[in-house]
């Protein structure tokens, strides 16, 4: 029996290592603040890691003897990402398109924040996905907020641009939660899923000052020629919808701490690469750009490494984008993988895995949507044997349909954390072929 792992198994191990490094059970406990001596502890959690963050926080405080009658809060995560809680209500809501459950969760969070006194501690546990899970429209209807969200997601705008618009159409985003909670002490512990780890972008920054402006939001709508309802245009011209800025009294009692970043996950993966005897070529955790364009660049790097006789793994993170022109299913990691497969056609000894660390990549909002896909130099040829044209699937943005037929989708299910994209390209000369699970 040959003990050498397949390329796919090795790459999936690296993915799992990165995810584990960012799980709240690992990264949250050392950062939890002391409970208040007299007032309430109000736990407000939102995002894909909200369920696991609340689970860890409840255990930490209750097991230490904090009185249950002084603990309040609400947690919201995307559908399928809830966790069992002991006291704090757990809500599952829509993502990436917000739904009525997201409205409910935001209303409850705002009501709890408004009820906070100076003796209370409001502990905000933030992670990627909170922008969709906490939905509190300002100046527009819920349906209009859904419409502008759909337009932004289809436009190719990066996450910072998307959140700039969303923050100026919200009563909770862009520092407004902290303003509502003042004068209570507000401590935010966040898991970053955005390039650059900007607190104002993570979850649309509900507890931090917002440097962006209404004018910035209007410029983004114009830049991408977004087809938005008239009410959205009016709201983005209304000075009442400007967000609180640095120096605002709302943040006098607020503090913010990053507890896990994409870079932390990649450090863990890099150690795994080196332990396996490979050179690690780390391109960074903050890559942005069109998925298919980045894939072409990375395929070229892999070919050059192999031509130079180097055994290496190329690692990269960040948040790639897809400009939707077709009618298929997929997400940026799957589209990257499909484009990469086309550019690696005919190679041997090169394999890759691309996946979203939250466990789902694009899709229709189901927790069972795939996280990404596996490819190697034979992927395109295998597809053609099945009568599939990789280029046609790419043109239709139908990467899920493509990899579903090949059995090469990555399906870890919900990971209960989120530090964005994970991409790894293995360059070797001796490698066992992948075997579909």
pLDDT in tens, the chain (437 residues): 233 469 999 999 999 999 999 999 999 999 999 999 999 999 999 999 999 999 999 999 999 999 999 999 999 999 999 999 999 999 999 998 999 999 999 999 999 999 999 999 999 999 999 999 999 999 999 999 999 999 998 898 988 999 999 999 999 999 999 999 999 999 999 999 988 899 999 999 999 999 999 999 999 999 999 989 999 999 999 999 999 999 999 999 999 999 999 999 999 999 999 999 999 999 999 999 999 999 999 999 999 999 999 999 999 999 999 988 999 999 999 999 999 999 999 999 999 999 999 999 987 778 889 999 999 999 999 999 999 999 999 999 999 999 999 999 999 999 999 999 999 999 997 544 454 44
C-alpha span between 391 and 289 (Å, rounded)? 20
What is the Cα gyration radius of the chain?
22
C-alpha span between 86 and 238 (Å, rounded)? 42
Alpha helices in 203-258 (DSSP H): 214-223, 230-235
Separation in Å, CA 136 to CA 43, 183, 229, 267: 19, 22, 17, 37
Q: What is the pLDDT of residues 105-117, one digit of tens each?
A: 999 999 999 999 9
Using alpha carbons, select from 408, 325, 329, 416 the residue that is nearest to residue 372.
Answer: 408
Alpha helices in 122-249 (DSSP H): 130-133, 142-155, 159-167, 176-181, 214-223, 230-235
Q: How many C-beta neighbours within 10 Å does residue 225 have?
A: 8
C-alpha span between 216 and 193 (Å, rounded)? 22
C-alpha span between 163 and 195 (Å, rounded)? 13
Residue recorded with tokens 């255990």: 59
Going along the chain from its start, the domains and CATH numbers come out as 7-19+263-427 (3.40.1480.10), 23-136+171-209+244-260 (3.40.50.10180)
- 354 neighbors 317 (Cβ within 8 angstroms): no
Task: Note the pTM of the prediction, 2 decimals.
Answer: 0.90
C-alpha span between 281 and 290 (Å, rounded)? 21
Q: What is the pLDDT of residues 3-32, one digit of tens each?
A: 346 999 999 999 999 999 999 999 999 999
C-alpha span between 206 and 251 (Å, rounded)? 11
C-alpha span between 25 and 22 (Å, rounded)? 8
């Amino acid at each position: 029996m040959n003990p050498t792992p397949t390329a796919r198994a090795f790459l999936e191990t690296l993915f799992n290592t990165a995810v584990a490094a960012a799980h709240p059970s690992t990264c949250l406990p050392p950062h939890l603040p002391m409970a208040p001596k007299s007032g309430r502890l109000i736990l407000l959690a939102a995002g894909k890691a909200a369920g696991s963050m609340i689970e860890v926080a409840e255990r930490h405080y209750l097991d230490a003897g904090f009185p249950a009658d002084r603990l309040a809060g609400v947690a919201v995560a995307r559908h399928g990402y809830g966790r069992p809680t002991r006291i704090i209500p757990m809500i599952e809501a829509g993502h990436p398109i917000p739904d009525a459950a997201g409205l409910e969760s935001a209303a409850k969070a705002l009501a709890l924040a408004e009820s906070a006194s100076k003796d209370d501690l409001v502990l905000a546990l933030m992670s990627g996905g909170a922008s969709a899970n906490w939905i509190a429209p300002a100046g527009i209807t819920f349906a209009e907020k859904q419409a502008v969200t759909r337009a932004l997601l289809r436009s190719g705008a990066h996450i910072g641009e998307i959140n700039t618009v969303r923050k100026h159409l919200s009563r909770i985003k862009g520092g407004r939660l902290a303003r509502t909670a003042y004068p209570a002490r507000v401590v935010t512990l966040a898991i970053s899923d955005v390039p650059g780890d900007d607190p104002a972008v993570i979850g649309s920054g509900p507890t931090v000052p917002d440097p962006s402006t209404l004018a910035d939001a209007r410029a983004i709508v114009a830049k991408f020629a977004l087809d938005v309802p008239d009410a959205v245009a009016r709201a983005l011209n209304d000075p009442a919808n400007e967000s609180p800025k640095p120096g605002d009294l709302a943040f006098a009692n607020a503090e913010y701490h990053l507890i896990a970043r994409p870079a932390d996950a990649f450090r863990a993966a890099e150690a795994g690469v080196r332990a396996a005897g490979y050179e690690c070529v780390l391109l960074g955790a903050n890559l942005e750009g069109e998925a298919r364009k980045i894939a072409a660049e990375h395929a070229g790097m892999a070919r050059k490494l192999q031509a130079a006789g180097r055994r290496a793994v190329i690692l990269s993170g960040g948040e790639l984008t897809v400009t939707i022109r077709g009618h298929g299913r997929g997400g940026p990691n799957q589209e990257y993988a499909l484009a990469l497969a086309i550019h690696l056609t005919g190679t041997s000894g090169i394999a890759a895995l691309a996946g979203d660390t939250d466990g789902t990549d694009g899709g229709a909002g189901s927790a069972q949507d795939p996280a990404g896909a596996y490819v190697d130099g034979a992927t395109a040829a295998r597809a053609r044997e099945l009568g599939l044209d990789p280029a046609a699937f790419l043109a239709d943005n139908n990467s899920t349909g493509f990899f579903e037929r090949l059995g090469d989708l990555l399906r870890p299910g919900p990971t209960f954390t989120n530090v964005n994209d994970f991409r790894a390209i293995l360059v070797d000369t001796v490698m066992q072929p992948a075997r579909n699970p």
